[in-house]
Amino acid sequence: METYEKELARIEKVVRFLSRLLLFPKKLEVRGAENFVRDGPTIITGNHIGSYKDVAVLFLVRQRMIYFVANKMIFDRADASDLVLKHLHRHMGKIGGFVHILLNPFYSFMVEFVSGHIAKVGTIPVDMYGRRTDAILKCQEYLQKGRAIIALQGRGRVDPGDPNPYIKSFRRGVAIMAYNLHKDQGLSVPVTPLSIFGTHGLWGVPGRIRVNVGEPMYVKEYWGGTEHDVVGRFRAALQQSVSRLLLESLKW
């Protein structure tokens, strides 16, 4: 079996073309790209407000092979189609179903391509409705192999009812992974925070997408006390860093 890298190389041009298409006609601006970790295990985490557009952004700004934590439903064509329809209904209400019918040829192509090639572009299929422990262990396996994984925080949309509608409260998963690997294997995994703004805008509408990448952070810098203490401090620090990066990007 070929490596993920070789499989991605086969469809690299198509993936980049589709990524640009998904962001059309918005302008992508990136600062801090030098902070991405080029070698060894690393986690990239940040806010998630633009659904599939956030994924497209990361494919265009990546410095190496990356592995997304992905809903295993998108590996199945029927399930993936249902997810697209739910996304349209969520953002467009009843008209979403009409749009789905109108643009069905395009969506059919996208679903066919994504579900048929998602494994080739580097993904970690997890059951979003199963035990979170299983997902964490799966990600730790990838990190132990020296890979870079993407673990965005949020449901892929802006939440107007949240105190910070652009940054959902971070879950503990990333901090737990970093804690486990440092404590059990002495593996210090750099976690790179980044903020994304602008992907929440409608497709086809001009605008700017701003990506601000911060310096890597390490769980060992928050060591002391119980596991709950360390994980809690690191989780909070990651969220604060992403919030700061987002505010900075709004001044560009």
Domains detected in the chain: 4-249 (3.40.1130)
pLDDT at residue 108 in the model: 54
pLDDT at residue 223 in the model: 97
pLDDT at residue 128 in the model: 44
Other Cβ atoms within 10 Å of 173 Cβ, number: 20
- Secondary element (H or E) of residue 30: strand 27-31
Dist. CA 101–CA 91, nearest whole Å: 16
pLDDT at residue 76 in the model: 45
Question: Residue length, the chain?
Answer: 252
Contact between residue 109 and residue 103 where contact means Cβ atoms under 8 Å apart: no
Could you report the average pLDDT of every consecutive run of 10 residues in the chain (252 residues)? Answer: 60 79 92 96 95 86 82 46 53 50 51 50 53 82 93 88 91 96 97 97 91 98 97 98 98 95
Q: Edge-to-edge strands of the sheet including 208-213?
A: 27-31, 208-213, 191-197, 42-46, 148-150, 66-71, 123-126
pLDDT at residue 93 in the model: 53
